[in-house]
Structure 1
Amino acid sequence: MKKYDIAVIGGGAGGLTAAIGAVQFGAKTALIEKDPEPGGDCLHYGCVPSKAYIKAAKELRDAKKAAEEFGLGLSGAPDFSVVKSRVQDAIAEIQPHDDRKRLRSLGIDEYHGTASLKTKNEISIDTGETIYAKRIVIATGSSPMIPPIAGLEDISYLTNETIFSIDRVPLKLVVLGSGPVGIELAQAMSRFGSDVTVIDHSGLMEKEEPEIRELAHHLLSEEMTFMFNRKVTKAQKKAEKIGLTVEGDSGTTQEIECNALLIAAGRKPNVKEMGLEKAGVDVKDGKIVVNKKMQTSVSTIFACGDVTGEYPFTHAAGQEGKTVVANAVFGVKQSVDYTHTPYTIYTDPEVFHLGLTEKEARDEYGDNIHVYRSDARHVDRFTAERNKTGLVKIITDKKGAILGAHAIGTLAGDWMQEVVFAKQHGHKIKDFSSVIHPYPSHGEMVSKAADQYWQKRLFEGKVPKLTETYIKWLR
Structure 2
Amino acid sequence: MKTYDLVVIGGGAGGLTAAVGAAQFDVSVALIEKERQPGGDCLHTGCVPSKALIAAAKDLHTARKAAAAYGLQLTDDASYKEAYDRVQAAKATIQEHDDADRLRDKGIDVYHGYGRFRDQHHIAISDDEVIYGKRIVIATGSRAAVPKIDGLKDVDYLTNEDVFDMTALPSSLIVIGAGPVGLELSQAFARLGSQVTVMVRGSKLLKREDADIASTLQDLLSRELNFRFHTDVTKIEAAAEGRKRVYAKQAGEEIVLEADAILIAAGRTPNTDGLDLSLAGVACDGEHIIVNKSLQTTVSHIYAVGDVLKAFPFTHAAGMEGKIVVANAVFGLRRKVSYTHVPWVTYTDPELFHLGMTEEEARREHGDSIGVYKVNLDQVDRFITDQETHGLVKIITDRRGAILGAHAVGRGAGDWMQEAVFAKQFRHKLGSLSQVVHPYPAHSEALMKASSQYWRQRLVRGWLPRLMKRYVKWFR
What band does the TM-score fall into relative to the shorter chain? over 0.9
Partner of 2:301: 300
Name the SS of the counterpart of 2:205 in structure 1.
Answer: coil
Judged with a 3 Å threshold, the aligned counterparts in structure 2 of structure 1 residues 5 and 465 are, in CA distance, closer, same or farther, namely closer
Give the distance between the partners of 1:107 and 1:472, measured in 2 at CA. 76
Name the SS of the counterpart of 1:366 in structure 2.
Answer: helix
Provide the TM-score with structure 2 as the length reference.
Answer: 0.97
Give the distance between the partners of 1:425 and 1:462, measured in 2 at CA. 25
Give the distance between the partners of 2:84 and 2:316, measured in 1 at CA. 25
After superposition, where does 1:65-464 map in structure 2 within 5 Å? Answer: 65-126=65-126, 128-202=128-202, 203-240=204-241, 241-250=243-252, 252-460=253-461, 463-464=464-465
Instruction: Report the alpha carbon displacement of residue 468 of structure 1 after superposing the two structures with TM.
Output: 7.4
Partner of 2:5: 5
Give the distance between the partners of 1:165 and 1:461, measured in 2 at CA. 59
Give the distance between the partners of 2:107 and 2:282, measured in 1 at CA. 29
More moved, 65-74 vs 464-473? 464-473
CA shift digits 1:408-441 (9 cap, x unpaired)? 0010010000100110001000100111111000
More moved, 51-60 vs 211-220? 211-220
Alignment coverage as a number of residue pairs: 474
Kindly indicate whether the alpha-carbon contact (under 8 Å) linking 1:113 and 1:127 is maintained by their aligned counterparts in 2.
no
CA shift digits 1:279-309 (9 cap, x unpaired)? 1111221111111111111112111100113
Name the SS of the counterpart of 2:368 in structure 1.
Answer: coil
Give the distance between the partners of 2:293 and 2:25, measured in 1 at CA. 22
Give the distance between the partners of 1:410 and 1:344, measured in 2 at CA. 12
CA shift digits 1:169-190 (9 cap, x unpaired)? 1111000111111000000000
Give the distance between the partners of 1:127 and 1:103, measured in 2 at CA. 25
Give the distance between the partners of 1:383 and 1:23, measured in 2 at CA. 50
Give the distance between the partners of 2:462 and 2:83, measured in 1 at CA. 58
CA shift digits 1:137-183 (9 cap, x unpaired)? 11000000000011111100000011111111111100011111100
Task: Specify every segment of 5 or more residues in structure 2 that has no aligned partner in the other structure, as ranges.
Answer: none
Name the SS of the counterpart of 1:149 in structure 2.
Answer: coil
Cα-Cα RMSD: 1.6
More moved, 254-263 vs 276-285? 276-285
- Amino acid aligned to 1:137: V
Kindly indicate whether the alpha-carbon contact (under 8 Å) linking 2:358 and 2:396 is maintained by their aligned counterparts in 1.
yes
CA shift digits 1:314-347 (9 cap, x unpaired)? 0000011111111111121111100000000000
Judged with a 3 Å threshold, the aligned counterparts in structure 2 of structure 1 residues 449 and 130 are, in CA distance, closer, same or farther, namely same
Give the distance between the partners of 2:334 and 2:55, measured in 1 at CA. 41
More moved, 331-340 vs 196-205? 196-205
Give the distance between the partners of 2:211 and 2:85, measured in 1 at CA. 38
Give the distance between the partners of 1:320 and 1:194, measured in 2 at CA. 38
Provide the TM-score with structure 1 as the length reference.
Answer: 0.97
Give the distance between the partners of 1:140 and 1:416, measured in 2 at CA. 31
Kindly indicate whether the alpha-carbon contact (under 8 Å) linking 2:171 and 2:195 is maintained by their aligned counterparts in 1.
yes
Instruction: Report the alpha carbon displacement of residue 463 of structure 1 after superposing the two structures with TM.
Output: 3.0
Instruction: Report the alpha carbon displacement of residue 127 of structure 1 after superposing the two structures with TM.
Output: 6.5
CA shift digits 1:246-274 (9 cap, x unpaired)? 12353x32111111000000000001121
Name the SS of the counterpart of 1:245 in structure 2.
Answer: strand
Sequence identity percentage: 53
Name the SS of the counterpart of 2:395 in structure 1.
Answer: strand
Name the SS of the counterpart of 1:38 in structure 2.
Answer: coil
Task: Specify every segment of 5 or more residues in structure 1 that has no aligned partner in the other structure, as ranges.
Answer: none
